[in-house]
Amino acid sequence: MGHSFTYSKVDAQNYLLPQRRNRVFGCSSAINNRDPEDVISDHQKWKAIFGKFGMGPKSQQFTLKDTLEKGVEPQPLHAPQDIRNWGLIEKRVKKAKQDPSRLCMHMGSSESRLEYMVGASTCVRPSHDIYCNVVGRPLIGCELLRLQGSFPDDYSCPDALADLPEGLKRDLAGNAFPTTVLQANLIATMIAHQDAWHQAASREDFASPKRGSRLNRKRPRQRQPPPEDGDGEPLCSKAKKNNRKRPSDDETLVG
């Protein structure tokens, strides 16, 4: 296809978000007449810059408490499978000398594949619930969006999001991309492939279409008035005579 592609597997919790989310992000660039060594060099530069953004300052790291909503009532675990899994996970956490009060567990998991994190959330996915021991309940939709780096309080219309059903908000969060990782990928691409961005900006189809002058703009056509008869009345205003025969009361056709 005339393009060169490279990728990198990154974790969202390394990009200032309190969520373990391993995903593959890629970067593709046109080869054109470039030397293969230059293409490989740009890809290595992109990986290096993208990785450095994952080593951001810890002072800007969001914590799990930053994403939690206040005033929501606790909801203890009630499913037997979740209660059994919680006991197994709690034993592992205490054995590792970690704090179980900061524990998050993926609800509905099997015993052979337990998903949990201490001090952060597990991977946010559609139609899945995450139980957070910090608040003693499953995380709600707006909290899951914050874990993706999308804060509903900063939206231009936060009330519209608040009116959405809870299930839909959970699905929106599960299908979203971590905003901090996307920003890091975009900035790394712009730095590592500066020539490609300059070439794209100079293309004619990349620039905004030029607006014509006011004199060259086409004026809307004026509709012609309907034709008139000899009496000066529009022909379209006269009712058409119905020539169809209709049945009378005695079932005979009348003109």
Region 59-75 average pLDDT: 91
Range of weakest confidence among 107-111, 162-166, 177-181, 214-218: 214-218
Q: In the chain, pLDDT over 70 holds for what percent of residues? A: 76
Phi, psi (deg, nearest 5) at residue 253: -75, 130
pTM of this structure: 0.74
Chain centroid to CA 39: 31
Bigger pLDDT: 106 or 214?
A: 106
Compute the distance between CA of residue 139 and CA of residue 148 in angstroms, rounded to an integer.
Answer: 13
Residue 119's nearest CA partner among 17, 25, 199 is 17
Segment 45-56 shows an average pLDDT of 87
Q: Which runs of consecutive H residues, i.e. helices, occur in 10-123?
A: 36-53, 80-95
Specify the range with the lowest mean pLDDT, choosing from 7-16, 26-35, 94-103, 219-228: 219-228
pLDDT digit string (tens) for 93-150? 999 999 999 999 999 988 888 999 999 999 999 988 999 999 999 999 999 999 999 9
Residue 213 has pLDDT above 60, yes or no: no
Kindly tell me if the per-residue pLDDT of 231 is higher than 70. no
CB atoms within 10 A of CB 20: 18
Domain boundaries, the chain: 3-61+180-202, 64-176
pLDDT at 220 over 70: no
Please tell me the predicted confidence (pLDDT) of residue 107: 94
The predicted structure's pLDDT at residue 90: 94
Query: Do 62 and 121 contact (CB within 8 A), yes or no?
Result: no
- Check whether 206 has a pLDDT greater than 60: no
For residue 58, pLDDT over 90 is answered with no
Mean pLDDT of 220-232: 66
Summary mean pLDDT of the chain: 83
Based on the number of CB atoms within 10 Å of its own CB, is 185 exposed (0-12), middle (13-18) or buried (19 or more)?
buried
CA-closest candidate to residue 50, choices 183, 151, 171, 159: 183
